Amino acid sequence: MEMLELDGSQGGGQLLRSALSLSLCTGIGFTLQNIRAKRSKPGLMRQHLTAINAAAQVGGARVHGAELSATSLRFMPGAIRGGDYSFSTGSAGSCTLVLQTVLPALWSADAPSSVRLHGGTHNPLAPSADFLADSFVPRLRDFGIEVGLELVCPGFYPAGGGVLQATVQPAPGLRPCAFESRGEFERMDGTALLSALSSDIGLRELAVLQARFGLGEDARHLRQVRPPRCPGNALMLCVRHAAHTTTFTGFGERGISAERIAARVADEAQIYLDSGACIDEHLGDQLLLPMALAGRGSFTTTAPSDHLRSNAALIEKFLPVEIAWEQQDATTWRVTVAG
């Protein structure tokens, strides 16, 4: 088996998850050293172990070093198997990051799959379940990938308790895609999701979005988790254009006012709206892998983040593609994948 030697010191958990996905899809094994070496707590954390174990189950892999706080891992993939799976982070670790790790393998399988994930569904530094449903899954459909997603129950840090259900159909050949223009603006919707917290918090957040973007009453939504498991708050601003929808998310923090959380979301959305980009910075990172598996494609984005650059370098080690980015104007970059 071909094996790659990878250095994880220049990135975080994303490099690990991308390596797992690419290994399963290409049949190339890897050894990853210096995992999360520059983080305050280096090595593998619980949610990383869940992703590794999930990838091993889906891909019949042999794994060495999958232990808490381990800084090196050896992963040797086997045959991908479609089927019914259930994975739990055992905490409020992100369900969505685990799902994104195994999705490429599952759409490469020769049979449909269902995946039930337990843990956190709305976590800082991870795509929320709503982001996946509104922004990520529709773009996967353009590649010919059919994914069904149901948020059974939201889960927040630290209790977790969320449940996310996904179905994945085989996609034997991916269509190359170009996401260059988002099209005409259609509408915005703001949603404040709360668990065991006063509705006043959500109303204050939505009031900020109303003031910034003129959201009408029908575009402001308040959702309370019933029954609540622990205090939690996510504010989502869904921006719909004719060709693409993206969702910007902020999370309540102890000691940070509702107004400040909402202002952060509004500022991030405004940067996107002021640009000529189709794809926001975070989704760009996530679309790079299916685009590379398709062999070619392109998208415009607000900026090539450090995540995108490190992810691109890793993808080029596994796949015969070249990934480049070129600045189009002051607010927009074009990312190109060429086989």
- Cα distance between residue 31 and residue 19, in whole Å: 10
Instruction: Give the residue carrying structure tokens 């129950």.
Output: 153
Strands 29-33 and 3-7: parallel
| Residues of the chain where predicted confidence (pLDDT) is lower than 70 | none
Q: Rg (Cα) of the chain, in Å, rounded?
A: 19
- Cα distance between residue 318 and residue 336, in whole Å: 17
Fold of 3-175: UDP-n-acetylglucosamine1-carboxyvinyl-transferase; Chain (3.65.10)
CB contact set of 182 (below 8 Å; sequence gap of 6+): 241, 242, 243, 244, 277, 278
pLDDT at res. 39: 80
Helix (H) or strand (E) holding 193, with range, is: strand 185-195
- Cα distance between residue 197 and residue 161, in whole Å: 17
pLDDT at res. 339: 87
pLDDT at res. 41: 80
Fold match, 3-175 / 176-182+276-339: no
pLDDT at res. 169: 97
Q: What is the CATH code of the structural domain delimited by 185-272?
A: 3.30.360.20
Annotated catalytic residue, options 118, 122, 282, 307: 307
Residue 80: closest CA among 50, 102, 53, 49: 102
Type of residue numbered 126: A
Work out the angle at residue 286's Cα, subtended by the Cα atoms of residues 321 and 220, and round it to the nearest 5 degrees.
Answer: 155
Residue 120: closest CA among 151, 166, 167, 163: 163
- Cα distance between residue 9 and residue 6, in whole Å: 9
Q: Is 48 a catalytic residue?
A: no
Dihedral through CA 130, CA 133, CA 137, CA 138, nearest 10? -110
Tokens of 204: 């204050």
Work out the angle at residue 131's Cα, subtended by the Cα atoms of residues 125 and 135, and round it to the nearest 5 degrees.
Answer: 130
- Cα distance between residue 13 and residue 29, in whole Å: 18
- 13-26 vs 281-294: helix crossing angle, rounded to 10: 20
> pLDDT for 82-116, tens place per residue?
999 999 987 778 999 999 999 999 999 999 999 99
Cross-strand pairs, 323: 337
Inter-residue contact 134 to 245 (CB < 8 Å): yes
pLDDT at res. 1: 77
Tokens of 67: 């232990």
Fold of 176-182+276-339: Translation Initiation Factor IF3 (3.30.110)
pLDDT at res. 80: 96
Annotated domain spans of the chain: 3-175, 176-182+276-339, 185-272
Type of residue numbered 182: R
pLDDT at res. 172: 86
pLDDT at res. 90: 77
Cross-strand pairs, 129: none
Type of residue numbered 260: R
